Amino acid sequence: MAGRSRKSVRTRGTHNVLISRSAFCAMVGVSERQLSIWEHEDLLVPARLLESSGVRQPLYDDAALERARLIRTLEQELEVNLPGIGIILNLLERLGR
């Protein structure tokens, strides 16, 4: 997806914008390495994986963007460790945030 960082996808009557990994990192304000750590810890999952020429490229949606910003806030501003972030995210999901 050289030159294009956002891809528009229509799903069930809604208009969903998918964001490339590099653009996503820039929007959240984290490095790709940090994003990889969050994914490895199952704190964040790409909305879709695009496969082109045998290369898998993760794409992220608005929900992932909001979640990543929350993770960044918890980690950087509130100094919560990764296991703690996982617990907080799980609790927020249970509460139906």
Mean pLDDT of 59-85: 97
Let me know if residue 41 belongs to a domain. yes
The rounded percent of the chain whose pLDDT value lies above 90 is 73
Let me know if residue 20 belongs to a domain. yes
Q: What is the pTM of this model?
A: 0.79
Let me know if residue 24 belongs to a domain. yes
pLDDT at residue 6 above 70? Answer: no
Collect all residues with Cβ–Cβ distance below 8 Å to 39 and sequence separation of at least 6: 45, 46, 58
Dihedrals φ, ψ of 47, to 5°? -70, -30
Collect all residues with Cβ–Cβ distance below 8 Å to 91 and sequence separation of at least 6: none
The pLDDT of residue 1: 43
The pLDDT of residue 84: 97
Number of domains forming the structure of the chain: 1
Let me know if residue 46 belongs to a domain. yes
Let me know if residue 1 belongs to a domain. no
pLDDT at residue 90 above 60? Answer: yes
The domain in which residue 19 lies consists of: 6-94
pLDDT in tens, 7-53: 544 445 556 789 999 999 999 999 999 999 999 999 999 999 988 88
Let me know if residue 11 belongs to a domain. yes
Tell me, rounded to whole angstroms, the distance of Cα 28 from its chain centroid: 9
At 77, which CATH number?
Answer: 1.10.1660.10
Rounded (10°) angle between helices 21-28 and 62-72: 40
The pLDDT of residue 42: 95
